[in-house]
Amino acid sequence: MGKGKDLEEMVERNTKHIWWLTIVMIVLLVAAALGGYLAGASRIANEVVEQKKEVEEKGKETNKETPTEVKEIDLSKSLNTKNYTYSSLTDKDQDLGITIKINNDKKSVTVSYNTKALNSISSVTHSTSGDNYSNEIKGFNKNIKSTFISGIGQDVTGTVFFFLTEDNTVQYVKLFNRETDSQGNTYYTTYWSHGDNTTPISTDTNDVVKLYGANVSAPMSSGFYTTLAAKADGSFYDLNEIVK
Q: 89 and 53: one domain?
A: no
Q: 56 and 26: one domain?
A: yes
Tell me the whole-structure pTM to 2 decimals.
0.70
Cβ-count burial 55-94 (b if 16+ within 10 Å, e if not):
eeeeeeeeeeeeeeebeebebeebeeeeebebeeeeeebb
In a domain, 231, yes or no: yes
Helix (H, G, I), strand (E, B) or coil at 68: coil
Q: How many residues does the structure list for the chain?
A: 244
Q: Which domain holds residue 22?
A: 1-65
Q: How many helices (H) and strands (E) does the chain have?
A: 3, 13
Residue 210, pLDDT score: 96
Q: 134 and 43: one domain?
A: no
Sign of the CA dihedral running 50, 56, 59, 60: negative
Residue 63, pLDDT score: 47
In a domain, 201, yes or no: yes
Q: 106 and 208: one domain?
A: yes
Domain tally, the chain: 2
Residue 238, pLDDT score: 98
Phi then psi for 191, rounded to 5 degrees?
-60, -30
CB 73 within 8 A of CB 236: yes
Q: 45 and 111: one domain?
A: no
Residue 9, pLDDT score: 59
Residue 119, pLDDT score: 73
In a domain, 74, yes or no: no
In a domain, 57, yes or no: yes
Residue 62, pLDDT score: 46
Q: What is the pLDDT along the chain (244 residues), one digit of tens a residue?
A: 555 555 555 545 555 556 566 665 665 565 555 555 555 545 655 654 565 566 566 555 444 555 667 778 999 999 999 999 999 999 999 988 899 999 999 999 999 988 777 776 666 656 667 788 898 999 899 999 999 999 999 988 899 999 999 999 999 999 988 888 899 988 888 888 766 557 899 999 999 999 999 999 988 888 999 999 999 999 999 999 999 8
Q: 142 and 180: one domain?
A: yes
In a domain, 115, yes or no: yes
Q: 136 and 61: one domain?
A: no
Phi then psi for 210, rounded to 5 degrees?
-160, 150
In a domain, 75, yes or no: no
Residue 156, pLDDT score: 85
